[in-house]
């Protein structure tokens, strides 16, 4: 199996696990793993001349943010569906060696990567960092890199095959 494809599969599995954990946290089955009981959510003072730093807690603030809803559906509901689709597309790319499955992966990961700056911006505006979201964001970026490398290798292989046939 191609290394880039393995990266796509791994990124989608890790993202799916983080998405399920975020959904469970949102539904109240589990709590935010880094919300210490004695520390209030919100930015820490940065000191004289320094900006305030986000605190790694306060998932509830992010869940209630308007940035957490896309097309009327909460992102914690969409995330497992999105990463499940990525896993399915990655497995399809493993079975079908053509350009189309690799191109679909680039489009799916690319669409997710377009959302990452918006979501990280929401975290920074709220002054909190969600660990589940951070794992999903990293998975999207890693998967995008893997899918681009996969498409590139398959393009080169198809050009080489066309050259040999002529």
Distance from CA of residue 27 to its chain's centroid? 20
Phi/psi of residue 88, each to 5°? -60, -45
Residues 6+ apart with CB under 8 A from 100: none
DSSP secondary structure letter of residue 55: B
The pLDDT of residue 32: 61
What's the longest Cα–Cα distance across the chain? 71
pLDDT band at 15 (very low <50, low <70, confident <90, very high): very high
Q: How far apart are CA 115 and CA 104, in angstroms?
A: 17
- Fold (CATH) for 3-28+57-165: de novo design (two linked rop proteins) (1.20.1440)
Q: Please tell me which residue, 72 or 110, carries the higher pLDDT value.
A: 110
pTM value is 0.79
Q: Which CA distances in Å does 25 have to 3, 32, 159? A: 33, 6, 47
The pLDDT of residue 125: 86
CB–CB of 128/61 below 8 Å?
Answer: yes
Residue 14 has pLDDT above 90, yes or no: yes
Q: Give the model confidence (pLDDT) of 60-80 as tens digits.
A: 777 777 888 888 888 888 999
Q: Give the model confidence (pLDDT) of 24-70 as tens digits.
A: 887 776 656 555 443 444 444 444 444 454 444 566 777 777 888 88
């Amino acid at each position: 199996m191609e290394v880039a494809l393995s990266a796509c599969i791994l990124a989608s599995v890790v993202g799916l696990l983080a998405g399920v954990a975020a959904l469970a946290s949102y539904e109240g089955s589990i709590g935010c793993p880094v919300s210490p009981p004695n520390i209030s959510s919100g930015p820490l003072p940065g000191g004289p001349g320094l900006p305030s730093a986000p605190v790694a807690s306060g998932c509830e603030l992010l869940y209630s943010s308007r940035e957490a809803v896309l097309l009327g559906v909460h992102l914690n509901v969409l995330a497992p569906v999105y990463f499940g689709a990525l896993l399915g597309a990655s497995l399809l790319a493993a079975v079908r060696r053509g350009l189309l499955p690799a191109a679909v992966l680039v489009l799916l990961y690319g669409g997710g990567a377009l959302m990452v700056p918006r979501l990280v911006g929401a975290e920074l505006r709220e002054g909190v960092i969600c660990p589940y979201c951070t794992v999903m964001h990293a998975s999207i970026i890693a998967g995008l890199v893997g899918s681009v490398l996969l498409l590139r290798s398959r393009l080169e292989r198809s050009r080489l095959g066309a050259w040999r046939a002529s």
